[in-house]
Amino acid sequence: MTPGTGLKLAAIGVDHGHIFGMVNNMRAAGCDVDTWWSAHDWALTDKFVETYPDMTRVADYRTILDDPSVDMVLIAAVPQDRADLAIAAMRAGKDVMVDKPGCTTLDQLAQIRAVIAETGRIWTVNFSERFQVPCVAKAEDLVAQGAIGTVIQTLGTGPHKLNLPTRPDWFFQRPRYGGIITDIASHQIDQFLHFTGSKEVEIKHAFAANKAHADHPGLQDFGEVVLQGDKGHGYVRVDWYTPKGLPMWGDGRLTILGDKGYIELRKYIDLANDNLGDQLILANEDGAEVIDCRDVALPYFPRICADIHNRTETAVTQAHTLRTMDIAIRAQNRADGASA
């Protein structure tokens, strides 16, 4: 039986393009996703209607929360609004998948943590740069098999194309999007925690700035973080500098350094290999090779469906998701000069 069989989902908030990956992958896992709501109407909403003409829009998100047949809601609202929507959904008896960042402040995170304990619902953040990338799934298998020995460090980069004319107003308002580290770098922090297995983490350095867009003072276009964990080290760099000429929104990469080799992931494009994505470079004591991972299955979505059915944590633990957002927000606070 397909893991998602019998599960009914609904989408709340169509303010970020990641909602398409969330809907598509949960449908591919066997779920029904047939209802949606959004507070805003803009180009992305139009694209959503065009992409999913079979889905019904409701005028009030509480219609979805009041529907006892809905098992999980997918939330891709404005980042600042995601916590309140997730809390309302969990208190209505729904499991929740939130686009990253799952929340934008430590106060929001504390409320989410309390409501998880209160309700027993699943709160999972779709860290798409891990969960929706086949070469990362392949890297997970290789690391688990000991292909590069013990992981010493991860080096994650998340460059993005700015596409200024397409961005909504909230994109340039620091409280609304949460800052570049809370937003984008939560992906790389998730991967650092996952591949090193670190549970205790010290933020050694965090920096964020607007280097090249003075006409948009609320924007942060560069960020970096250095992490020291109890089981490994991490470096993160994120930015909005991807040039228009690159035929991809960003050349995201991850290098996983082990004591017996390394893995480099060229996730979305490899300019040295016919512009292919999902290319994995492995070098260890047995040799070196490039592995095409485009056909590797994505385990997160069927596993989260099984977790909804069985009340388990096979896709990702709740503790990991909370830890990821805690570190991301604290690093952002440090970069902003606030208390971390």
Domains of the chain: 8-126 (3.40.50.720), 130-298 (3.30.360.10)
Measured distance CA(91)–CA(254) in Å, rounded: 37
pLDDT of residue 305: 98
Phi first, then psi: what are they for 326, rounded to 5°? Answer: -60, -45
pLDDT band at 168 (very low <50, low <70, confident <90, very high): very high
pLDDT at residue 23 tops 90: yes
Reported as a single tens digit per residue, the pLDDT across 50-67 is 999 999 999 999 999 999
pLDDT of residue 339: 58
Place of tokens 């309140």: 84
Q: Where do the H-state alpha helices sit in the chain? A: 18-28, 43-51, 61-65, 79-91, 106-119, 128-131, 134-144, 174-177, 180, 186-196, 300-310, 318-336
pLDDT at residue 286 tops 80: yes
Reported as a single tens digit per residue, the pLDDT across 171-209 is 999 999 999 999 999 999 999 999 999 999 999 999 999
The CA distances from residue 186 to 94, 146, 327, in Å, are: 24, 26, 8
Answer positive or negative: Cα dihedral of 182, 183, 184, 189: positive
| Mean per-residue pLDDT of the chain | 97
pLDDT at residue 1 tops 60: yes
Q: Which DSSP state fits 170?
A: G
pLDDT of residue 328: 98
Q: What percent of the chain has pLDDT over 70?
A: 99
Reported as a single tens digit per residue, the pLDDT across 114-134 is 999 999 999 999 999 999 999
Reported as a single tens digit per residue, the pLDDT across 193-249 is 999 999 999 999 999 999 999 999 999 999 999 999 999 999 999 999 999 999 999
pLDDT at residue 340 tops 60: no
Measured distance CA(330)–CA(242) in Å, rounded: 26
Q: Which residue type occupies 59?
A: A
Place of tokens 């998880």: 116
* The pair of three-digit structure tokens given for residue 314, joined into one six-digit string: 């096979």
pLDDT at residue 338 tops 90: no
